[in-house]
Amino acid sequence: MLQKLFIRNYAIIESVEIEFSNKLNIITGETGAGKSILVGALGLILGERADSSVLFNATQKCIVEGSFSIRERSDIQKILQQGDLDADEEIVIRREVASTGKSRAFINDTPVTLSQLKQFTSLLVDLHQQFDTLELGNSDFQREVIDALAAHKTVLKQYQEAYTQYSSTQKALAAAKDQQASANKELDYYTFLYTELEEAQWKENELETLDAELKLLGNAENIKSVLDKIGYQLNEGEQPLVQQLKGISNQLQSLHDFHAAIPGLVQRLQSAQIELRDITDEIEHINNGIRFDEERIQVVSDRLALGYKLLKKHGVQTTNELLVIQNNLQQQLDKVLNLDTEIAQLEKKAATQLQQAQQLAQTLTVNRQKQVAPFEKNTDKLLTQVGMPNARIKIAINPAALNVTGGDAIEFLFDANKSNRFEPLKKVASGGELSRLMLCIKSLVAASVQLPTLIFDEIDTGISGEAARQVGIIMKDLGQSHQVIAITHQPQIAAKADAHFFVYKKEKDEKINTRIKLLSAEERVDTIAQMLSGEKPTASALENAREMMNLKI
């Protein structure tokens, strides 16, 4: 509920503050006094765009601030908490427009973007202006009206969850089929690549090992020659190194008693002798293991040639990288082979989910169809009240492909003249008819759902007399359970107000600016009488005004 609206430096408003009733608030005033300017200012905190042209004083910033009570709106408090905004029983929404045209928006002093502001305030205020009737012809709005009357939020939520799951499975199924189609095109090629690697039966580091072996085989004769020579020098020949080292050790041993360091040197020479003998044995073992094998050279060369060809083909450098590629190809082939199973499982899952969604959609359809007759009857009755006795509305609910709202195509059809030729609203209803129809529909929906603050800006244009009185009665009824703010020129509507505000112009410092005041009971009588008969109301006009207001004469 909008408790208070503060406006400073906007259009021809220097500064005004309005405290609204929680029921029916009526705003009246002469044409051009600034009534609709109030709605324009309110539009700023509802997220409408603005520039410096709205400034009353171009050297100062414009401020529009609205205080809203959200005591009974747990849904709004939850949104505030999710957005890390202070969630209390009251929130303050402020919009500032600088002289440069740059604007800022705040919710409880926390800066927010314009889109965030608009999304949030749409839950707080429903602003309906004179020609703002496009929404009524919108199929989503029409469905929402029927759903509100059907009061099946729980079923609708269950259906939307089921439909979302079904849609998700359908997307996964389509992706799997696309993947299968794409994989099948390359299946032969991947199979060839994998078979080529598998048949080679590579082992870890095999190419690197074979490369070292080939170098050894290719130099076998030279290696054996060198090793033979070294072995001869170490263990054979006229003075073998091993024997020489043994002789030196024996000579040094003879000095063993003459110097304390000699035993240590003898021990080291003996260790060196043992190590040299081991080296000699190892050289002999290596030499015995090396032989020139032309057949083996050919086998290794062929194996390496195959390996180098595959390395180049796959753009890698090592045997282990080839093995990784082989493993990846194996996984891809397995995945292709498993796609049939995955697709079958997804198809079964989608069929189950579709059946569940269809059952819930059918429940929605039945609930909606139950509302058609009473809605048509009640709307037609209200249309008669607001001066459209020949107008009729008809609700068409036809099957449609499942979507996020169910399986129904809902359309409001209209006949303005009892011709029994019902056409879509947007084709046949005039602006004035749509405005009154919107009022009738919102009054019906208000009994079923918690609507935000309803603001009507001169939607009563083109009506008078009894029709205007009936519009006032409907607004009065609406105001019993919802806050309603209405700008009107009709005395019949103004007479129904719980709070009546009067907008007027006043000159200050050679500037015209708009003022607004809450009228007392007697001031209301004078104002309504003036609306009936002119600036100087007659006695009969005053009496008529009191009668309209149900005041004792």
pLDDT at 156: 94
Task: Name 151's Cβ contacts closer than 8 Å, sequence gap at least 6.
Answer: 448
Q: Which amino acid is at 244?
A: Q
Helix (H, G, I), strand (E, B) or coil at 240: coil
Q: Is the pLDDT of residue 510 over 50?
A: yes
Q: Are 111 and 105 in contact (CB under 8 A)?
A: yes
Q: Is the pLDDT of residue 78 over 90?
A: no
Q: Are 127 and 46 in contact (CB under 8 A)?
A: yes
Q: Which amino acid is at 177?
A: K
CA distance 270 to 312: 55
* CA 312 and chain centroid, separation: 47
Helix (H, G, I), strand (E, B) or coil at 205: coil
Q: According to CATH, what is the number of the domain 1-124+452-519?
A: 3.40.50.300
The rounded mean pLDDT for the chain is: 85
Helix (H, G, I), strand (E, B) or coil at 268: helix
Which residue carries 């299968």 as its tokens? 180
Q: Is the pLDDT of residue 192 over 80?
A: yes
pLDDT at 130: 45
What average pLDDT does this structure show over 350-354? 95
CA distance 314 to 188: 17
pLDDT at 417: 86
User: Each residue of 140-158: pLDDT tens digit?
Assistant: 888 988 998 998 989 999 9
Q: Are 34 and 532 in contact (CB under 8 A)?
A: no
CA distance 395 to 370: 11
Q: Which amino acid is at 273?
A: Q
CA distance 224 to 217: 11
CA distance 249 to 213: 40
Q: Are 37 and 10 in contact (CB under 8 A)?
A: yes
Confidence of residue 278 (pLDDT cuts 50, 70, 90): confident
Higher pLDDT, 453 or 496: 496
Select from 141, 143, 172, 175 the least CA-distant residue to 159.
143
Please provide the size of the chain in residues.
Answer: 553
Helix (H, G, I), strand (E, B) or coil at 60: coil
Q: Which amino acid is at 322?
A: L
Write the DSSP symbol of residue 463: -
Confidence of residue 136 (pLDDT cuts 50, 70, 90): low
Partner residues linked to 408 by β-bridges: 399
pLDDT at 338: 78
CA distance 376 to 378: 6
Give the number of other Cβ atoms within 10 Å of residue 119's Cβ: 13
CA distance 157 to 451: 19
Which of 112-121, 351-360, 396-405 has the weakest average pLDDT? 112-121
pLDDT at 404: 92
Q: Domain ranges in the chain? A: 1-124+452-519, 177-338
What average pLDDT does this structure show over 448-476? 80
CA distance 457 to 493: 13
Q: Is the pLDDT of residue 542 over 80?
A: yes
pLDDT at 132: 47
CA distance 26 to 491: 10
Q: Are 512 and 47 in contact (CB under 8 A)?
A: no
Select from 39, 16, 90 the least CA-distant residue to 485.
39
Query: Phi, psi at residue 147, to the nearest 5°?
Result: -65, -40
User: Each residue of 196-227: pLDDT tens digit?
Assistant: 888 888 888 988 888 887 787 777 777 777 87
Q: Is the pLDDT of residue 237 over 70?
A: no
Q: In angstroms, what CA-CA distances link 216 with 279, 282, 454? A: 20, 17, 95
Using alpha carbons only, what angle is made at residue 143 by residues 138 and 144, rounded to the nearest 5 degrees?
A: 95
Token couple for 4: 């208070």
User: Each residue of 3-32: pLDDT tens digit?
Assistant: 999 999 888 888 999 999 999 999 998 877
Helix (H, G, I), strand (E, B) or coil at 134: helix
| Residue 10 host element (H or E) | strand 2-10
pTM of the model: 0.64
Token couple for 424: 């879509």
With pLDDT > 90 as the criterion, what percentage of the chain qualifies?
Answer: 28
CA distance 14 to 98: 15
CA distance 452 to 484: 9
Select from 147, 167, 218 the least CA-distant residue to 370.
147
With pLDDT > 70 as the criterion, what percentage of the chain qualifies?
Answer: 95
Task: Name 296's Cβ contacts closer than 8 Å, sequence gap at least 6.
Answer: 217
Helix (H, G, I), strand (E, B) or coil at 278: helix
Angle between helix axes 206-218 and 294-314 (nearest 10 degrees) is 140
CA distance 382 to 389: 9
What average pLDDT does this structure show over 538-545? 89
Which of 349-353, 485-489, 511-515, 526-530 has the weakest average pLDDT? 511-515
User: Each residue of 376-391: pLDDT tens digit?
Assistant: 999 999 988 888 888 8
Write out the E strands in 70-119: 90-97, 103-107, 110-112
